[in-house]
Structures are given as structure tokens and as C-alpha cells.
Amino acid sequence: MNFPDVEKTWYYGFWVSVGILFALTYLLLPITDPDFFWHLHTGQWIWEHRSLPTTDPFGMLGGGTVDVRQYFILTSYWLAQLFYYFIYTFLGWGGFFAVRAMFLLFLIMALLARDHVWRFGYAVLTATYLIILFARFPVERPQFFSFLAFAVMLVLLDRLAKSGNAPLPRHVAWGLPALMLLWANLHGGIILGQILCVAHLLNNVWLHFTGKGNGKFPLAGSAVLVVALLFSFVSPNAATYFAAHQEFHDPKYKVFYDLTTEYRSISVAILENKAWIYGFFPAITVLALFWLLRDGLRKNLMYLVLVALFSFYAFKHVRYLPFLGALVLPFAGNAVTLISRKVAAVFLVATGLLCIVATSSHFENIRKLANYGPVSGVYPKNAVEFVKQKGFQGKVLNDFFWGGYLGWALGPGHNIFVDGRTLDDERFKDYTLITQMLAVAEQGAEKHIDYYGKGKILDHFLRKYKIDYMILPKMRGGKPFWLATTIASHSDWKMVYNDPLSVVFVKRDRVPAR
């Protein structure tokens, strides 16, 4: 299809403007995500040991057997973790900012490769989606490999469906199995790719037996889907894959998911956390459903089922919203063409500008980068240097948010109490008791706390885990951190370091003599 030169100029000018916007904002955020550091640390461990960890190499879980959930967390991201380690080793911190730009470019290419009617309107929707994606979801996490793999797979599956009984395009025949193989070893989101493969297989069968196909069953295309499915199980977790996903839904992990924002529903995120920007996803989902139903229920049955399925999970847990968005974007873009182009253009541009305003904190990323460097100032860098200088080692009680960073920055000889992996549910619950429940407990509010007393519970906790030293936040929520304040007055512990961000405590019998 040929487009007028004026429209081409506006179109390419639009994407240049988007690139400049991202280059000055969303791509420049100092590395903040706490999980990134344990991924980087694990990649280093895998390379140095030339094997995958089968027990926790950094925390207090130590040796012994692990359950299927723990094994899944330890081994399911290994290829992404090696990638992070190699980027850091050969390119330094700057390499991760280049990786962000790479993700942006590849996502734009994959999303624009989907079929759409009005390319300028679809471009605005796509850019808005990408703004939300980069503003709300940490790029330095293996989940971004899943976002990209999902978007690429949608393109390949569209090409596969169009080929019917004709010879398959080579990039589809080879690309689907290769993509599933890579995805299976980059991130656990491979299950979403498996859902797409199964959906297209069932759709082939349904179209054939209802006479909606081209007469002959698309055998070659179905064979590629089967091979892609088989390749998705070529990973360290092939034997325990489904058992691990069932284990994740065990009620004993509910306390963790309740405290993790990405597992909250979209209603909670919008109404309670004031993340109004997430309203973009219900809006484009409604538009997509309108287009698919208007275009014919039988014709689009597979996509309608997929949209319903992904909507259920995405609205229940916001971590799935990027997948829903990638799925419905082209259909939503097509639905917008049913109204006046001028009215639609005003609506789309206004939506995009509102998203930019809602993420305006990212306009400070240049300043943050200049002040703190590539690693965010939320981490206790000075406290780490002090601990390493003094030679403290052993079991460290740390803040949950700092766990991944401390494990990586401190290195061997320091057993981190808790980090984003939450491998030991008992430790995480005890951590929550000490840092949150005791902090807010009032007389009579919790019977067991009221009976034993906060001090006795804390002492029992410290004896249970044989803590050697602590790196704790000085403040939390704008108030003095309860645990740090309590330990400061404890007879068995001494504060040996203090800065505006953090404090370090050591057992008095371990304080070096002057």
C-alpha cells in the first residue's frame, strides 16, 4: 500500500519524536529494580561454576534439597542471567542502557509488523503502550524477554495462519521453534507462548472440521506448532514444569503475593494505588472486543477466547497486562478507524499525552543519573563499602528490597537473609513479622504479640537465625524504621555505621577491639 509523502513525513517524524522522548526519559532511569541484582549475581555464579545452582548459593537456605518451586526460581532464568553477566563484564553498566534501547527498537518492530488498518492511529496506540511498559515495568528483569518473545510470536503466528496450505515462509518454519527454545530458557513466561501454540493448533482443527478452512488441513503449519511446543520443554525445568506452576499457587505463599504490587488486581492498582495509567488496558481491550465481534464471531473465535483468557489473568494480576496489550493492540487500532479520523487522532494524541503526564517522574531520570550514577541511590552503597572495609562476614539481616543488591555487592562470605527470590517461605514470614507486624502492633491487637512482648519475639528471631550483623534502612515511609530503632537500644548489639540512608549493627562480642 502506498502512502502520501505528507503522511509518510508525519509518520516517521512521529517515531523520531518518540525515540527522542524515550532517550531523554524512560531509557535513562538508574537501575532500581531489586531483582535485577540477584539475576546478575546468579549469572556470575553460573559462569564461574559452569553449572546451574541446585541450592541457594547466596542466602541462608544453604545446602540440602529444594522443592520444585525453589528449583524453578534457581534455574528458569539462566540464559537471561548469563546475558546480564556478559553485558556487565564486557560493557559495564552502560551496556544495560544500550539493552533498554535494543528492547525498545525490537518491540517497535514486532508490534508494527502486526496487520493494522490505520498506521498513524496504530502508531500512537503502540507508542502509548510502550510508554506504560517502560515506565511501569523494570526493563532489567527477564520478564522483558517474555514481552518481546510474545510480541514476536504473535507476528510469526499471524504469518503462519495466513500461509494456510501454501509453503511456509522459512522465517516462520524455523523461527517459531527457535523462539520457543530461547524463550524457555530466558523466562518462565514461556507458558504464554505454549498457550498461543495450543490455541492455533485447536483453531486449525476447528476450522477444518467446520468447513471454514481452505479444504485441506494445514498439516505443515500444525507440524511447526507441535515442534515449537516440544522445543518449549527443552529446559532445565522440563520434568517439573507444571508441578512448579502448581506450587506457586500454594496458599503458604499468599503473604508474599499480597505484598507484591505486580500481583495485585488492576482495580486495586487503579483505585488504591492511584495507577490510573493502567486504565489504558481495559479501554483497548473493549475496543478490540468490539472490532472482533463486529468482524464475525466464528471468524475470530480463537482471538476472542484468547482475549477473554488473557483479560482474566491481566485484570487479576497487573504483571500480565503487557501481554494482553500486545495481543489486542491491532484490533483496538482497527476499531478506532470506525470513527472520524480527525476525532480519532485528537483522542489518540490526548491519550498518549496523558500517559506522558502520568509518568512525568521519568523526566527527572537525567538528574538522577547525574547524581547517583547508573545504580540508583536507594541502595546502601556506602554501608556496603564500610562492611567490606571492616571485614564483617556471616549471616546478615537485611531489608527485603536491598537483598538482591547486597548479595551481589557484598559477595562471598555474606549470607543474605531475604531477597526477591523468597526461596524460604518461613524466613519471609518471619521477616514480615519482625519488620511489619511488630512495627504496627498495638496493645491487644495481636494476642500472641501482646502475650510474649515485642522484645521477646525479636530476641527469639535473632537466636533462631543466628544473625551476625545487620544492614537496615534508617527510615521507612518517612518515619524512623522500627527495627533499626529497637536494635539501636538493644544491649547485645552495637551501631558501627550510620548515614542518612542506612545503619549497620554488629553483635557486641564481634566488634573489633580498637
* Neighbouring residues of 443: CB distance < 8 A, sequence distance ≥ 6: 450
Nearest CA among 120, 126, 118, 159 for reference residue 335 = 118
Judge contact between 131 and 355, C-beta under 8 A: yes
State the angle between helix axes of 301-316 and 190-209 in degrees (0 to 180), rounded to the nearest 10: 150
3-state helix/strand/coil string of 356-367? HHHCHHHHHHHH
What structural domains and CATH numbers belong to the chain? 5-364 (no CATH), 381-510 (3.40.50)
* Neighbouring residues of 126: CB distance < 8 A, sequence distance ≥ 6: 108, 111, 112, 329, 333
Please give the pLDDT value at position 514. 56
* Cβ count near 114 (within 10 Å): 18
C-alpha dist (Å) from residue 49 to 54, 81, 193, 410: 12, 14, 31, 19
Cell of 167: 509453503
Please give the pLDDT value at position 252. 73
Q: How many CA atoms lie within 13 A of 210 on its CB side?
A: 10
pTM for the predicted model, two decimal places: 0.93
* Neighbouring residues of 338: CB distance < 8 A, sequence distance ≥ 6: none
Cell of 482: 522500627
Given the C-alpha cell 509518568, which residue does it identify?
359
Q: What is the pLDDT along the chain (514 residues), one digit of tens a residue?
A: 455 666 788 889 999 999 999 999 999 999 999 999 999 999 999 999 999 998 889 877 666 678 888 899 999 999 999 999 999 999 999 999 999 999 999 999 999 999 999 888 999 999 999 999 999 999 999 999 999 999 999 999 999 998 877 888 899 999 999 999 999 999 999 999 999 999 999 999 988 888 776 768 889 999 999 999 999 999 998 877 777 777 767 777 777 777 778 888 999 999 888 899 999 999 999 999 999 999 888 888 999 999 999 999 999 999 999 999 999 999 999 999 998 888 998 989 999 999 999 999 999 999 999 999 999 999 999 999 999 999 999 999 999 999 999 999 999 999 999 999 988 888 988 998 888 877 776 544 445 555 567 788 899 999 999 999 999 999 988 899 999 999 999 999 999 999 999 999 999 887 765 5
Helix residue ranges per DSSP H, 76-169 = 78-91, 94-112, 119-136, 143-163
